[in-house]
């Protein structure tokens, strides 16, 4: 065969090889949760809030409700403590978002105050229950209103307690389970900041 | 002899009387009581503490109240495979010689219908009631979330 043919063949093989390698390489960080996550639009005291509003930033989502006396303040408190350790230039790339799954009791103004209490940049938002149910499912979050007898609370909201990390392209890339210390949360955030 | 018998009997009765056996409130030592500061406008918070039973029989915390709230309930959290379920409980037992912790994620006092917002640094009076009717008043320290113990001991966290 002519040298040119050899050359072209080699080139072709290299290209094919590179393609094959890319399929097997560790670029799966964006596909960790295939089919999960996705865009959404919620209501807040400052108007509609959509995930795509924050393209280019890391979005940290937490589902909870303001009448939650322990689990939510614990997680949001830990998240807040973690965020406060970041230098300003890193914090500028992060958007924390608290999503209430209890729209009956949590109006947008209450949510704004609640979110701001934990961190000045945190946004509090909600939507109607059917929308929230679909949204939670897409993110792998769980919540359920449960009537409670023998108590003045009326009903409890059972829920998973996880911080969802959405990357700059709007893709769900990480989940930080409940009980994470500020340091562990910080590790997850720093890792996400370093990627892409 | 008769006199001795009577004295002996009376002494015996006296020693066996409730005056000398510890009430639950006597037996229980309360350690590090605190309540969480919450955002203004919220009327529900949680109180935590450790109960140490120095007595020789099990005791139970059955109720609590505070002038700072409308009502206090006893609650716990059940972590059901990642789903947190908060439920009221009838009582919180403390084994003889043992300790029971009311802490974030577990047992807690649910402080409901707060009459005014809890502010970090304040003390909140709470009266604990035990199974035998005895009561104990404590002063819970109100803490901002950044002051929680778990946050300080970061070296021990995984």
Residue A16 counted as domain residue: no
Q: Fold for B24-143, please state it.
A: Immunoglobulin-like (2.60.40)
pLDDT band, residue B13 (cuts 50/70/90)? low
Q: How far is CA A83 from CA A37, A52, A121, A181, A184, in A?
A: 23, 22, 10, 12, 12
User: Domain of A147?
Assistant: 34-194
Q: With contacts defined as CB-CB under 8 Å, which chain B residues touch A85?
A: none
Residue A9 counted as domain residue: no
φ, ψ of residue A18 in degrees (nearest 5): -60, -40
Q: With contacts defined as CB-CB under 8 Å, which chain A residues touch B46?
A: 69-70, 73
Find the mean pLDDT for residues B128-144.
96
Find the mean pLDDT for residues B37-57.
92
pLDDT of residue B106: 92
pLDDT of residue B153: 36
Q: Given an 8 Å threshold on Cβ–Cβ distance, is B44 in contact with A159?
A: no
ipTM of the predicted structure?
0.75
**Whether B83 contacts chain A with CB within 8 A:** yes
- Provide the CATH number for the domain around residue A107: 3.40.30.10
pLDDT of residue A66: 92
Report how many domains make up chain A: 1
Percent above pLDDT 90 for chain B: 65
Residue B109 makes CB contacts below 8 A (sequence gap 6+) with B35, B46, B47, B48, B49, B64, B72, B73, B74, B75, B102, B126
**Whether A50 contacts chain B with CB within 8 A:** no
Residue A19 counted as domain residue: no
pLDDT band, residue B69 (cuts 50/70/90)? very high
pLDDT of residue B141: 97
Give mean pLDDT in consecutive 10-residue pieces for chain A, a chain of 196 residues. Answer: 79 70 50 91 98 97 92 93 95 97 94 96 97 96 89 87 95 90 94 86
Position B15 pLDDT exceeds 60: no
* Annotated domain spans of chain B: 24-143
pLDDT of residue B14: 58
Q: Which range, B86-90, B137-141, B151-155, has the best average confidence (pLDDT)? A: B137-141
Residue A2 counted as domain residue: no
A10 CA to chain B: closest CA distance, Å? 50
pLDDT of residue A69: 84
Find the mean pLDDT for residues B144-156.
57
Contact B72, B110 (CB under 8 A): yes
**Whether A168 contacts chain B with CB within 8 A:** no
pLDDT of residue B19: 45
Residue A143 counted as domain residue: yes
Find the angle CA(B115)-CA(B119)-CA(B120) to the nearest 5 degrees: 150
Residue A7 counted as domain residue: no
Contact B104, B35 (CB under 8 A): no
Please state, in angstroms and rounded to a whole number, the distance separating the CA atoms of residues B45 and B144: 12
**Whether B45 contacts chain A with CB within 8 A:** yes
Residue A8 counted as domain residue: no
pLDDT of residue B158: 39
pLDDT of residue A23: 56
Residues of chain B by 3-state class (helix, strand, coil), percent to 5: 20, 45, 35
Residue A87 counted as domain residue: yes
Find the mean pLDDT for residues B98-113.
95
């Amino acid at each position: 065969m002519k040298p040119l043919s050899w050359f072209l063949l080699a080139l072709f093989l290299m290209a094919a090889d590179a393609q094959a390698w890319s399929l097997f390489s560790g670029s799966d960080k964006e596909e960790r949760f295939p089919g999960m996550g996705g865009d959404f639009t919620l209501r807040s005291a400052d108007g509609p809030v959509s995930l795509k509003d924050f393209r280019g930033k890391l979005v940290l989502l937490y589902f909870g409700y303001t009448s939650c006396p322990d689990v939510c303040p614990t997680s949001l408190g830990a998240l807040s403590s973690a965020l406060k350790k970041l230098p300003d230039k890193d914090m500028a790339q992060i958007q924390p978002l608290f999503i209430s799954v209890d729209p009956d009791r949590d109006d947008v103004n209450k949510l704004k105050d609640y979110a701001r209490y934990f961190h000045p940049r945190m946004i509090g938002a909600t939507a109607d229950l059917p929308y929230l149910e679909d949204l939670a499912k897409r993110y792998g979050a769980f919540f359920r209103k449960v009537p409670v007898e023998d108590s003045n609370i009326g009903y409890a909201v059972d829920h998973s307690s996880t911080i969802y990390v959405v990357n700059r392209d709007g893709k769900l890339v990480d989940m930080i389970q409940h009980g994470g210390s500020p340091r562990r949360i910080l590790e997850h955030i720093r890792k996400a900041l370093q990627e892409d | 002899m008769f006199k001795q018998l009577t004295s002996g009997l009376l002494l015996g009765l006296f020693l066996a009387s409730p005056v000398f056996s510890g009430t639950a409130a006597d037996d229980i030592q309360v350690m590090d009581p605190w309540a969480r500061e919450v955002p203004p406008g919220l009327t529900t918070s949680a109180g935590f503490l450790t109960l140490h039973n120095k007595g020789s029989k099990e005791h139970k915390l059955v109720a609590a109240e505070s002038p700072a709230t409308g009502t206090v309930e006893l609650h716990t959290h059940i972590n059901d495979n990642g789903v947190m379920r908060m439920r009221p409980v009838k009582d919180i037992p403390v084994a003889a010689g043992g300790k029971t912790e009311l802490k974030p994620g577990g047992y807690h006092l649910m402080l409901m219908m707060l009459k005014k917002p809890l502010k970090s640094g304040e003390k909140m009076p709470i009266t604990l009631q035990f199974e035998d009717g005895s009561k104990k008043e404590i002063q819970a320290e109100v803490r901002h979330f950044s002051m929680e113990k778990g946050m300080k001991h970061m070296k021990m966290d995984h």
